[in-house]
Amino acid sequence: MMKHHRDNRFAGELDWNLLRTFVVIVEEGGISVAAKRLLLRQPTVSLALKRLETQMGARLLERGGGVFRLTAAGRALYRECRQIYGSVEQLQAVTSAFAGEITGSVRIAMASHVFTPLLDDTLRQFHADHPTPTFQIAVETSASVAQTVNDQNASMGICLVNRRLPRLEYQIIYREFFGFFCGPGHPLFGRDRLSMNDLRGHAAVSFDTDDLADALRAVELLFGHYHFNLPLVC
């Protein structure tokens, strides 16, 4: 009972605005940039961070001398803050459900190479049926998209998927296929029934797939299997 009482007291005494300030500092990667976004003076933001560290009883950021890095405590608090922020974003949707209308904003994280008429048609039809809600689309790498949704920085994400994060739900929209292509003037242009060995010695442009944990690792594994050494361009 005493522990529960202390927890309630901490929540009651905590200045929740400090959490928002902390999130903006982390997202902007610095106090001065965060101050501009918050329309506050830099000393005010610095003081807010110090107050939050005092209330949390832990150092949240390593800063100074060109260093700006979250501590272990800072990373843990940022994850919790994102959870809180995600819940707050849903409040308008919760109340609007009782008003019989759909409002709010849908934040979508999307890989840059995603192209499907299905998405275009879905957004167009949704806007026609519900003109009030807005969409915010952020373009990121596939790995970043999954993490952004996992951190509740986006309502949904569209990307290539190689491994699944346990907290997320996945739905296949379409499958993307990759191949080797060449144009007029290339020695292989117009030839049929080519084998992988026919590609040896030819320069190529491909994705940067050195990270075997990336969604495109199958391409990298293919290169490795046939001992290709191609110049890669993202």
Instruction: Give residue 161's Cα distance to chain centre.
Output: 13
How many whole angstroms separate alpha carbon 201 and alpha carbon 198?
A: 8
Can you tell me which residue has the tokens 């060995």?
197
Burial of 134 (0-12, 13-18, 19+ CB in 10 A): exposed
CATH 1.10.10.10 in the chain is located at 2-69
pLDDT at residue 1, as a whole number: 42
Q: Phi and psi at residue 85, in whole multiples of 5°?
A: -60, -40
pTM above 0.75, yes or no: no
pLDDT at residue 7, as a whole number: 54
Q: Top-level CATH class of 2-69?
A: mainly alpha
Give yes or no for a contact between 48 and 16, defined as CB atoms under 8 angstroms apart: no
CATH 3.40.190.10 in the chain is located at 90-158
pLDDT at residue 119, as a whole number: 86
Q: Which CATH number fits domain 90-158: 3.40.50.300, 3.90.226.10, 3.40.190.10, 1.25.40.80?
A: 3.40.190.10
How many whole angstroms separate alpha carbon 126 and alpha carbon 108?
A: 14
How many CB atoms are closer than 10 A to CB 60?
22
Residue 126: C-alpha distances to residues 120, 129, 226 (Å): 10, 5, 46
pLDDT at residue 229, as a whole number: 62
pLDDT at residue 2, as a whole number: 45
What is the mean pLDDT for each group of 10 consecutive residues in the chain (234 residues)?
A: 55 84 90 90 93 92 83 92 78 66 82 83 90 87 86 86 86 81 90 86 66 60 67 48
